[in-house]
Amino acid sequence: MPSSPEKSTSSTPQSATMWPHEEAARLAERVRDYPPGRPVIFQSGFGPSGLPHLGTMSEVLRPSFVRHAFAMHLPLRPTRLIVFIDDMDGLRKVPENVPNRDAIAAHLGEPVSRIPDPFGCCPSFADHMLSLLKDFLAPVEVEYELLRSSEMYGGGAFDEGLKIILEKHREIIAIVAPTLREENRAGWSPLMPLCPRCGQIVERSVTAYHPERNAIEFTCEGGAKGRRGCGFSGEQSILGGLAKAQWKVDWALRWFTLKVDYELYGKDLTPSAQLSAPILRVMGGNPPLGFPFEMFLDEEGRKVSKSVGRGVTVEQWQRYAPVEVLKYFLLQNPRRARKLFLESIPQYVDEYLDALRAYSAAPNAEARADSPLEFVLQSGSARSFRADVTFGMITNLVPALGNSDFDLIINYLRRYDPKIESDSGTAAMVASLVACALNFYRDFIEPGKIPYAPNAAERAQLQSLADFLRANRDASAEQIEKTIYDLGRANYDKPGKIFPLMYRAILGQERGPRLGAFIRLATPARIIELIEASIARTK
């Protein structure tokens, strides 16, 4: 008899409209008739042909968010998150950010699991990238299992699926061939043998299929771009790691063997996913639920890429922001492309602080369970933030003070906002933010800081503000802001045009925080010093 359908429990948040909950609800419907104990399988992939970056991180964290939401819907159903390492893939291009590139280029077309480590510290190129991936994922406290393509093929785990692909190769070719350019259709095969002579993955020139003995015939005429084949011809088994499925067929093979239920993938892979689904049906499997997400873009609007070394590492992120902010960033709408580069990090920190303030103010545990922070908080995360200071304010305070003394910055902030010491969580978060702001200042602001030399008219405007601050040491932030606007009205056609001058003279940059609150934070005495130093540069 079929098992009774599982039902969502009352622990599911009532206001669960976030995308992980929407996806979890879809997934719960898919698995409702699964037999008891059958785990729900989430999969993510990593191609170890380049250094992992935050795009890689998203491919692991985002399915973990759905997995977390699914556990709230069906807490009794076991789940697994598999990170699949495609280290049987032939290296097509040498990444720009690895050493010994010429030596690695000699191995183009060979499985990355068999290419020497260019860094000289691991058994293979793939082992090095896998080690980096483990270190990369460690700070975010996500539970996952690693499976390697080389071990799955070599150990026979894929053999059943490979036999089906060999038997049904004509049907699979009929699915894929219409999607290929005309010049690539001839000789295309769903299976790529590993040449026993030169070690390349042979992408073309399979000449005969023998399902009755699990073998193919081929000629090694060429593999990856830039490397010729060795000319070997013969018959070879497809089992035990002696052949690999073509990319879209390989994806279907994973789904078939691992019984994958859910996978996120980049929007650029949508056509591949759409093609892998009918291949899986030919094999007798049921395609998983899919979720295409938008790409991350660098500061120039280009797609972040591990193959050319663009992107942000976790080590860099942790130098400039708490790791929880990274997780919160990746939780945001995956269907929208977002720019991700080092200088953009401060704005994401303040988005997280706003969410953490709301979490702190939640009246009870049930209200906190509805917060997106339930997906991103770590074992050591601050659970509260009751201060009014922002990371943007702190990153502007540091250059204004012109000092890298941690205790000095903290003392300034405490005087400005006594709520910093209201609880241990808030105090710990502020301390972390100050450390990150000091790193950001040393790495990005201080090296390019150019002291501003105002002209005669600008000197007069700056002197007016300095005179006001000297005469009104206890002026409120609102009074200071009004004084600056009045100066703007008196000297420009639009009052806001005075602010770039103030930012250049005080902070050495074109933009900055609301000046009234910031001057109160940095203290009028310090701002007077900075203004007068700027005026003095032109005398």
Output the six-digit token pair for 487: 């100066």
Phi, psi of 266 (to 5 degrees): -60, 150
What pLDDT score does 10 carry?
37
Rounded CA separation 183/26 (Å): 41
Residues 443, 502 within the same domain = no
Helix (H, G, I), strand (E, B) or coil at 89: coil
pLDDT in tens, 204-241: 789 999 999 999 999 998 666 657 889 999 999 999 99
The yes-or-no verdict on residue 201 having pLDDT over 60 is yes
pLDDT in tens, 457-508: 999 999 999 999 999 999 999 999 999 999 999 999 999 999 999 999 998 8
Helix (H, G, I), strand (E, B) or coil at 275: helix
Residues 444, 514 within the same domain = no
Number of domains the chain is built from: 3
* Contact between residue 288 and residue 262 where contact means Cβ atoms under 8 Å apart: yes
For 472, the domain range is 456-536
CATH number at residue 256: 3.40.50.620
pLDDT in tens, 235-268: 999 999 999 999 999 999 999 999 999 999 988 8
Output the six-digit token pair for 420: 């910093």
Longest Cα–Cα distance of the chain, Å, equals 96
In a domain, 12, yes or no: no
Domain boundary among 426, 448, 470: 448
Total residue length of the chain: 539
Residues 266, 322 within the same domain = no
pLDDT in tens, 329-383: 999 989 888 877 777 888 899 999 999 999 999 988 888 888 999 999 999 999 9
- Dihedral angle sign, alpha carbons of residues 451, 457, 460, 464: negative
- Show the 3-state SS of 191-247: EEEECCCCCCECCCCEEEEEHHHCEEEEECCECCCCCECCCCEEEEECCCCCEEECH
Residues 429, 400 within the same domain = yes
Arithmetic mean of pLDDT, 126-136 = 92
pTM of this structure: 0.85
* Contact between residue 25 and residue 64 where contact means Cβ atoms under 8 Å apart: no
* Contact between residue 170 and residue 195 where contact means Cβ atoms under 8 Å apart: no
* Range from 306-315, 396-405, 415-424 carrying the lowest mean pLDDT: 306-315
Which amino acid, residue 448? Answer: G
What pLDDT score does 307 carry?
43
Residues 126, 31 within the same domain = yes
Residues 117, 252 within the same domain = yes
